Amino acid sequence: MITVNDLSKNLELLKKQNPLVHNITNMVVTNVTANALLAIGASPIMAYAKEEIEDIVSISNSLVLNIGTLTKDLIDVMLFAGSCANKKGIPVIFDPVGAGASCLRNDASKEIIANVKLSIIRGNESEIANLSGIKLKTKGVDSSGHVEDKKTLAKELSLKTSSVICVSGKEDIISDGFTAYSVSNGDVLLTKMTGAGCISSSVMGAFASIDNNYLKASLTGAVLIGICGERAALKSRLSGSFQLEFFNNLSAFDSNMLLKYAKIEKI
């Protein structure tokens, strides 16, 4: 049974260890992802050239693969980075942005899942459903359509991929195939700020690097993002101010906030 106290310990460990997270991510979110990692006490590096992947993985503590603005070449780079990370034994997080929106993304997702040992896969409902072979209507990179039973969805894909699955949404559902948790933190405004999901994946990458219980690491990340989103929404529901408050909360986030606001439940 994972408790909020466990998550709180992760937070303190992260700030102490300041892990380096290697992101191969999309070009929409590079800046905000880097700032988010810095704000929570991790260090970001973005590196995409195949020629330096091995070097960068060798100094990194986790790797995040995000297919938001995918190209053929990037698939190749991601597969190679994944294999380097697996060889080194650092966690790999996969964010299948827009899975379901194109064959390129679907095929790349399958290839990455088949060839890279992934610690965590995080996506919205459409994306995770599509990875599971359920053809859900997709609206580009935003979720649309609904799965009846998200817990079963997460559990089954988890068993199939041997990865922790996180289905982001109004409630985040996270499962390691055996147990499942829900996180009820968050606010709908997170879906109106581009990159909230991508940031979440990279933050999970930071926690996975200091906690090899990836279910717990994912939960810590989901709770952190959710709380920062809901605290920001209390300050402002306007686009610019919400984003500013979200980053303010990321940098102010501490054990007290986590213990006070976290809403996790074993389901």
* Contact by Cβ (8 Å): 93, 201: yes
What are the structure tokens assigned to 238, written together? 């306007």
Give the nearest distance from C-beta 22 to its own copies in angstroms: 8
Positions touching its own copies (CB under 8 A) are 20, 22, 26-32, 34-35, 38-39, 43-49, 51-52, 55-56, 59-60, 68-72, 98, 101-105, 138-142, 192-195, 236-241, 243-248, 250-252
SS3 71: coil
Give the nearest distance from C-beta 166 to its own copies in angstroms: 22
Complex with its own copies: residue 101 or 259, whichever CB lies closer: 101
Complex with its own copies: residue 115 or 251, whichever CB lies closer: 251
Instruction: Please state, as a whole number, how many other Cβ atoms lie within 10 Å of the Cβ of residue 149.
Output: 10
Give the nearest distance from C-beta 88 to its own copies in angstroms: 15
Complex with its own copies: residue 29 or 264, whichever CB lies closer: 29
Give the nearest distance from C-beta 145 to its own copies in angstroms: 13
Complex with its own copies: residue 70 or 164, whichever CB lies closer: 70
Give one DSSP letter per residue of 90-116, joined into a string: --EEEE-TTTTS-HHHHHHHHHHHHHS
* Contact by Cβ (8 Å): 40, 206: yes
* Contact by Cβ (8 Å): 25, 195: no
d(CA 49, CA 200): 24
Q: Provide the terminal-to-terminal Cα distance of the chain, rounded to the nearest Å.
A: 11
Complex with its own copies: residue 27 or 234, whichever CB lies closer: 27
Give the nearest distance from C-beta 65 to its own copies in angstroms: 16
Phi, psi of 181 (to 5 degrees): -130, 155
